[in-house]
């Protein structure tokens, strides 16, 4: 058999038909295949790396531009979050005279009108709300008031310089007062009936109509706040104050325009300023403490919130001086000159004969100035709403 197998292999070799290659042949063949594969794989890898480098070069400018834009946005956001002294002063000025508008349906603040009054166009709603919460927390802390149970802790990143206790108490009172006027009083269904019970006061001008003008006063305070009421509210065409005053002045005659007493009943809880009316000059700027509005029978409005307190009323006359010192320093001499001119040249005893002589009017002005300094909250603004 061995001899036959050897012969068969020799015959197969002669015909070129080997049954199986030898070991050395297979090993050599395998090495060549591996080498060829390695070369091909290396070439493909080099091509991919070259393509990746090209893509990286193309993407680098885009990534750099995006990074620069992100840095700029971060810088702008940081600048917006930082409040300058002017912005803080404008915020305090508006929040202490206009308050804030809260939508009870949406359960969020509406900062559009506030932002326009305070000239804080660059501040977002989130920034204003965050600063407002920190500001209220600062005022409550200065007044030694306990924190509310549902109140969130203030953000320590927003540091607000504390104000005096008197200003903080007055500001908190005004914010709460104006919020109740906007959210409760104006939406009270029996408001018109209750306002009919308002009693006239000696400090009100002769053209004041109880009920009608009292409602316009609430609407004007909610719309304009309590700053410069003798300008914003009195001259508002949607309210009836200006028309009533003009009609009264025409009925009294053109010669008595400068002697009509424009007692300012609109100055509730606000500072005093000159009335800008083309046909007359303000002779007597009534302080807040002398306005007496008696509302009997109204419901759901506590008397304490409409009566004010000593901090609210005592500092009402000079609030504008504290909030905007430079403007008031320039306006003070003008006020004095206008008042002196009116008292010395323009007061006609005949025009005020119904209320008293010229001497009585001057004594009344002196008494008003004294009462402004020594007034108490019980006699300032009596609003009895049952």
- pLDDT tens digits for range 358-380: 455 445 445 544 443 443 343 33
Please report the pLDDT score of residue 315 as a whole number.
47
Distances (CA, A) of 191 to 186, 242, 297: 7, 23, 10
Residues pairing with 108 in the sheet = 103
Q: How far apart are CA 96 and CA 110, in angstroms?
A: 16
Please report the pLDDT score of residue 34 as a whole number.
92
Together in a domain, 215 and 232: yes
Q: Cβ distance 273 to 235 under 8 Å? A: no
Share of the chain above pLDDT 70, in %: 55
Together in a domain, 73 and 88: no
Structural domain count, the chain: 3
- Of 169, 193, 225, the last residue of a domain is 169
Residue 115 has pLDDT above 50, yes or no: yes
Please report the pLDDT score of residue 71 as a whole number.
81
Together in a domain, 147 and 116: yes
Q: Which residues contact 179 (CB under 8 A, 6 or more apart)?
A: 99, 100, 102
Q: How far apart are CA 287 and CA 314, in angstroms?
A: 9
> What is the domain extent for residue 240?
185-250
Together in a domain, 90 and 163: yes
Mean pLDDT of 208-218: 91
Secondary structure string (H, E, C) spanning 71-123:
HHHHHHHHHHHCCCHHHHHHHHHHHHHCCCEEECCCCEEECHHHHHHHCCCCC
- Of 145, 169, 193, the last residue of a domain is 169
The packing angle between helices 125-142 and 85-97, to 10°, is 70
DSSP label of 182: I
Q: Which residues contact 152 (CB under 8 A, 6 or more apart)?
A: 133
Q: How far apart are CA 324 and CA 332, in angstroms?
A: 12
Please report the pLDDT score of residue 59 as a whole number.
63
- Would 36 be classed as within a structural domain? yes
Please report the pLDDT score of residue 110 as a whole number.
92
What is the tally of helices (H) and strands (E) in the chain?
A: 15, 2
Higher pLDDT, 2 or 138: 138
How many residues are listed for the chain in this entry? 386
Q: Cβ distance 208 to 200 under 8 Å? A: yes
State in Å, rounded, how far the first CA of the chain is from the last one: 132
DSSP label of 110: E
- pLDDT tens digits for range 12-45: 555 556 678 888 988 999 989 999 999 999 999 9
Residue 181 has pLDDT above 80, yes or no: yes
- pLDDT tens digits for range 314-353: 444 444 434 444 444 344 443 334 344 343 334 343 333 4
Buried b or exposed e, range 323-348, using 16+ CB within 10 angstroms: bbeeebeeeeeeeeeebeebeeeebe
Together in a domain, 31 and 90: no
Q: Cβ distance 384 to 296 under 8 Å? A: yes
Q: Which residues contact 154 (CB under 8 A, 6 or more apart)?
A: 133, 134, 137, 138
Together in a domain, 225 and 150: no
Q: How far apart are CA 50 and CA 45, in angstroms?
A: 9
Please report the pLDDT score of residue 336 as a whole number.
35
DSSP label of 260: S
Together in a domain, 107 and 52: no
Together in a domain, 159 and 216: no
Q: Cβ distance 130 to 100 under 8 Å? A: no
- Would 383 be classed as within a structural domain? no
Place of tokens 């009323």: 313
Q: Cβ distance 146 to 69 under 8 Å? A: no
Please report the pLDDT score of residue 57 as a whole number.
65
Q: Which residues contact 291 (CB under 8 A, 6 or more apart)?
A: 201, 203, 204, 265, 267, 268, 380, 381
Q: What is the pTM of this model?
A: 0.48
Higher pLDDT, 168 or 122: 168
Place of tokens 């609109």: 266
Together in a domain, 163 and 89: yes
Q: Cβ distance 269 to 288 under 8 Å? A: yes
């Amino acid at each position: 058999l061995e001899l036959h197998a050897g012969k068969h292999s020799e015959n197969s070799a002669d015909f070129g038909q080997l049954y199986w290659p030898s070991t050395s042949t297979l090993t050599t063949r395998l090495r060549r295949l591996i080498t060829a594969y390695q070369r091909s794989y290396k070439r493909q890898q080099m091509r991919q790396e070259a393509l990746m480098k090209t893509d990286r070069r193309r993407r680098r400018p885009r990534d750099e531009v995006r990074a620069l834009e992100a840095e700029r946005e971060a810088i702008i956001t940081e600048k917006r979050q930082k409040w300058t002294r002017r912005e803080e002063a404008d915020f305090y000025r508006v929040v202490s005279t206009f308050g804030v508008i809260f939508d009870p349906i949406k359960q969020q603040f509406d900062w559009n009108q506030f932002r326009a009054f305070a000239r804080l166009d660059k501040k977002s709603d989130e920034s204003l709300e965050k600063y407002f919460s920190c500001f209220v927390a600062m005022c409550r802390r200065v007044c030694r008031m306990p924190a509310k149970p549902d109140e969130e802790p203030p953000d320590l990143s927003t540091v607000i310089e504390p104000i005096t206790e008197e200003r903080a108490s007055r500001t908190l009172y005004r914010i709460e007062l104006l919020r109740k006027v906007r959210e409760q009083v104006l939406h009270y269904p029996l408001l018109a009936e209750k306002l009919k019970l308002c009693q006239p006061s000696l400090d009100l001008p002769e053209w004041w109509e109880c009920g009608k003008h009292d409602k316009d006063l609430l609407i004007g305070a909610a719309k304009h706040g309590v700053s410069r009421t003798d300008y914003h509210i009195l001259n508002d065409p949607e309210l009836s104050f200006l028309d009533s005053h003009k009609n009264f002045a025409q009925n009294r005659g053109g010669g008595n325009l400068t002697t009509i007493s424009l007692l300012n009943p609109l100055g509730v809880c606000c500072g005093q300023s000159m009335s800008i009316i083309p046909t007359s000059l303000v002779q007597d700027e009534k302080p807040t403490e002398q306005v007496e509005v008696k509302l009997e029978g109204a419901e759901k409005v506590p008397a304490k919130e409409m009566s004010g307190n000593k901090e609210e009323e005592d500092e009402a006359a000079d609030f504008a001086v504290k909030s905007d010192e430079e403007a008031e320093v320039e306006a003070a001499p003008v006020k004095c000159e206008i008042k002196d001119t009116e008292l010395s040249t323009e007061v006609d005893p005949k025009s005020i004969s119904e209320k008293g002589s010229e001497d009585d009017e001057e004594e009344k002005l002196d008494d008003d100035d004294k009462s402004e300094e020594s007034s108490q909250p019980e006699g300032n603004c009596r609003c009895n709403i049952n």
